[in-house]
Structure 1
């Protein structure tokens, strides 16, 4: 069987959550200057999102819904955990500049994969974080159109691999922001979000 071509896809979209009453709430929108860009075959976008867009040509519109099991799953209360405050120290001091209630912070699991967690509370010696994806428990609706759909070059694939392996990210791992579709937080396709469904974490990525 011939190996499937890795495609570079750029898209402009609006992302809505859909509640039980069918009401839609806009939670994210790309811009013309900063569309969502990803390369197929690397798990950097939701599988269902990728499967639909890879078959669309430049200029083609899309409007589809994804159930929870096709997006970020159910909200799991067990994924709200407490971590030792020592994990968030820089030069011997707690990193209060980046770690505060409501902050979305990068962590990494035992496999070295980065993902985003939300700080819930900061105690005397513990930091409570929510490892659920911000959109967990929601049905999603994507509306938009494809800006580009072409075969990815070897250089583009290598750049993506470098970012996925931690290369090119200086210090705080959200330094990859806006490179190859990485958005730091939120969004449908950042690979960190996919990893946020995985258990385990071993440290702040400072």
Structure 2
């Protein structure tokens, strides 16, 4: 069976960023935790899915997504200073999760969840970066397709049921203290 729309896909991969001799390993799946998704459901970067389209279990892949095919260029306007008081806990202290380098879920006035990285904590503001962590990077994927099959109702529920995980197949709830980028579960998936 080949990868086509609505098929469950599991693959192992290594993701490198940079170009030429300057490439560094950014993340890698493990045999216990491969990348899992359903093709054509908007779970992955569109260009990532295009490169896997037509492959079958056992096929290897090696491709690069340009900055524009991946998360686009970094945008200076996505770095913002937010009032420190919005990060205070009920005791009036800075929330323990607010540390330089941490990625936090925040909510827009209309209730949308956005993720931002803490760049700097100042006396009256917290400097946040709302660029995707891989913005401005070429993404080089090297890997192998491990499984392709018709998605079961249970797999569809796992990804889209709204109560188990973020929809990327890693099994974690990203709204509750799980950092995609640190745990190698496919931070490129675009689920946050």
The answer for unaligned runs of 5 or more in structure 1 is 193-206
TM-score (norm: length of structure 2): 0.80
SS of 2:180 mapped into structure 1: coil
2:179 is equivalent to residue 184 of structure 1: yes
Work out the number of aligned pairs and report it. Answer: 180
Partner of 2:56: 57
Partner of 2:156: 157
TM-score (norm: length of structure 1): 0.75
- 1:12-46 CA-to-partner distances (Å, cap 9, x unmatched) read 10111123x55311111111111111122332211
Q: In 2, distance between residues paired with 1:126 and 1:139?
A: 32
Q: In 1, distance between residues paired with 2:158 and 2:79?
A: 33
Dislocated runs of 4+, deviation >3 Å = 92-96, 108-115, 180-184
Q: In 1, distance between residues paired with 2:8 and 2:91?
A: 43
Partner of 2:9: 9
- 1:68-116 CA-to-partner distances (Å, cap 9, x unmatched) read 1100111111110122223323334445321111111223445644343
Partner of 1:204: none
Q: In 2, distance between residues paired with 1:125 and 1:162?
A: 40
SS of 1:156 mapped into structure 2: helix
* RMSD (CA atoms): 2.7
